[in-house]
Amino acid sequence: MKYYIIAGEASGDLHGSGLIRELRRLDSTASIRCWGGDKMQAAGGELVKHYRELAFMGFTEVLMNLRTIFRNLKFCKEDILKHRPDVLVLIDYPGFNLRIAKWAHQQGMTVIYYISPQVWAWKEGRVRMMKECIDKMLVILPFEKDYFRDKWNWDVEYVGHPLVEVIDTFRDSNLAIENLLTGKASESSEIIALLPGSRKQEIAKKLPVMLGVSAFFPGFQFIVAQAPAVEDEFYKGFTDQYPNVSIVQNKTYSLLLQSRAALVTSGTATLETALFGVPEVVCYKGSAISYQIAKRIVSIKYISLVNLIMDKLVVKEMIQERMTVENLKTELKDLLMNDERISELKKDYAELKKLLSLGGNASANAACSIVDFLQKKGTHKVSPTI
């Protein structure tokens, strides 16, 4: 079977790699061509484009890169038609992937979407097109199944969240036990993790504020998790002036496993941090224009996946003007010193993991669902139209 998989971000690369491994386990003849990153390539996918060429954050950043985006869309369609896959599997990344889904449907292709766009937050009107163009939707958040069924009469499949098995597997591996303390840090120093995001635009906005907090906690080592697609020198321009700050690359999970607390940019990282049981403050700061636009069109109570899944304020969210050094200092101190809050947080984290584990192994479930669906449906070839 010929699979064509498209992921456009670091989290999509992670989840796509798990899916590829499981597809190859179930289908010994699998030929997998993909857009993604190093993890998907290492799992056995033939990498066409790396996500570092695709990721643009915020409304203004997207507008500035429209020419590149349209060039990538055109190339993607041409490449799909050239390789004529039996199925197109799209992983999140809605701005790009929904355009591809609509086009692929017009070509008569089989389209499966793994990890739904967050239409429950904004642009709900896209669901009508999605329902028409996507042959099967696989979701990873427990409330999404009810949302699509109750509001849109669409029977989607909940497969569990892939981060649960990813993190459990890591905990059981020997990769976890390594010393991350460097420079002037003593062996007795405790660690505060800084996860400022995966793209340069968001790192430049958030990291300076996060670093400003380190001066108030001289007994702790603050360690920045470097994004795989961002070079060392970019970070050093921010961190060099801080004596109790260091950087690690490709060791985010080791960092979280050893951290006492964390300052985390909104997104998948908030969920990863919670699944490691690390008390966290969620941070968001975008361009003024992007934030004002988002505020008017996003219809959710929280920005953190932890809070959204639990449907209550489990972790504090410091958004835009509230993301200041003073506010982060106050919240971090509370996470380090308030035993009652820490205990309550741990209980909520345990309940969160239970909710996300109900579907079992998400990558295996998703791969089984895809293979079963293709076997029942059969496949057909397409006529080329760009």
- Closest by CA position to 194, among listed 216, 209, 183: 209
Residue type, 163: L
* Confidence category of residue 200, pLDDT binned at 50, 70, 90: confident
3-state secondary structure of 93: coil
Task: Read off φ and ψ for residue 264, nearest 5 degrees.
Answer: -130, 130
Q: Angle 362-377/162-171 helices, nearest 10 degrees?
A: 140
Highest mean pLDDT among 9-18, 146-155, 195-204, 230-239: 146-155
What pLDDT digit, counting tens, does each position of 143-182 carry?
999 999 999 999 999 999 999 999 999 998 865 566 786 5
The pLDDT score that the predictor gives to residue 179 is 74
| Model confidence, pTM | 0.83
What pLDDT digit, counting tens, does each position of 42-59 carry?
999 999 999 987 755 554
Helices and strands per DSSP (H, E), number in the chain: 17, 13
- Mean predicted lDDT score pLDDT of the chain: 89
Looking at residue 183, what DSSP letter applies?
Answer: T
Compute CA 307 distance to the chain's CA centroid, rounded to the nearest angstrom.
Answer: 16
Q: Starting at the earlier edge strand, list the strands of the sheet with 111-114.
A: 46-50, 31-36, 2-7, 87-91, 111-114, 136-139, 157-158
Query: Is residue 342 pLDDT above 70, yes or no?
Result: yes
What pLDDT digit, counting tens, does each position of 231-249 carry?
989 999 999 999 999 999 9
What pLDDT digit, counting tens, does each position of 327-337 carry?
999 999 999 99
2-160+359-377 and 170-356 have identical folds? yes
Q: CA–CA separation, 326 vs 337, rounded Å?
A: 17
Task: Read off φ and ψ for residue 55, nearest 5 degrees.
Answer: -85, 115
Beta bridge partners of 50: 36
Summarize the chain as % helix, strand, coil (round to 5): 50, 15, 30
The pLDDT score that the predictor gives to residue 134 is 98
What pLDDT digit, counting tens, does each position of 107-149 carry?
999 999 999 999 998 889 999 999 999 999 999 999 999 999 9
Query: Is residue 382 pLDDT above 50, yes or no?
Result: no
Compute CA 285 distance to the chain's CA centroid, rounded to the nearest angstrom.
Answer: 17
Q: What sign for the dihedral angle of Cα 150, 101, 10, 43? A: positive
DSSP letter string over 296-354?
A: HH---S-SSHHHHHHTS--SEEEEGGG--HHHHHHHHHHHHH-HHHHHHHHHHHHHHHH
Q: CA–CA separation, 353 vs 358, rounded Å?
A: 9
Residue type, 301: K
Higher pLDDT, residue 331 or 296: 331
**CATH topology for 2-160+359-377?**
Rossmann fold (3.40.50)
What residues have CB less than 8 Å from 239, skipping those under 6 apart?
211, 224, 245, 246, 247
Q: Looking at domain 170-356, what is its CATH homologous superfamily?
A: Glycogen Phosphorylase B; (3.40.50.2000)
The pLDDT score that the predictor gives to residue 337 is 95
3-state secondary structure of 116: coil
The pLDDT score that the predictor gives to residue 53 is 77
Query: What is the domain partition of the chain in residue ranges?
Result: 2-160+359-377, 170-356
Query: Is residue 290 pLDDT above 80, yes or no?
Result: no
